[in-house]
Amino acid sequence: GCILDGKLYPFGDTARTHNCFRCSCSQNDLRCCSLFHTPIGYDKEKCTVVFNKKSCNYDVVQKSDPSEECLVYSRV
């Protein structure tokens, strides 16, 4: 198996980590990829980016009122 964050996973198992990555355990290796996409196209003067660990995604919100979301044009 594979050890990830101190926990043993059997070969063929896929796990979601506490820091928002999905990892797959195989006999050859442990492969992980992110579950989130970074926003790059938004109004950087009026908005700010905040990581939401619950949804494993970045929220883009207004600097003046963080309860209001901003329009995001593109993510990578």
CB atoms within 10 A of CB 11: 11
Asked, for residue 1, whether it belongs to a domain, the answer is no
Joined together, the tokens standing for residue 64 give: 């003046």
Supply the CATH number for residue 46's domain.
2.20.25.590
pTM: 0.68
What does the pLDDT look like over 16-27, one tens digit per residue?
Answer: 888 899 999 999
| Per-residue pLDDT tens digits for 57-76 | 999 999 999 999 999 999 88
- The pLDDT score that the predictor gives to residue 10 is 92
Taking the C-alpha atoms of residue 24 and residue 2, their distance in angstroms, rounded to an integer, is 9
**Domain range for residue 29?**
10-34
Task: Write out pLDDT tens, residues 28-58.
Answer: 999 999 999 999 999 999 999 999 988 899 9
Give the list of residues 6+ apart from residue 14 with CB closer than 8 angstroms, or none.
Answer: 22, 23, 24, 25
pLDDT tier at 4 (50, 70, 90 boundaries)? confident
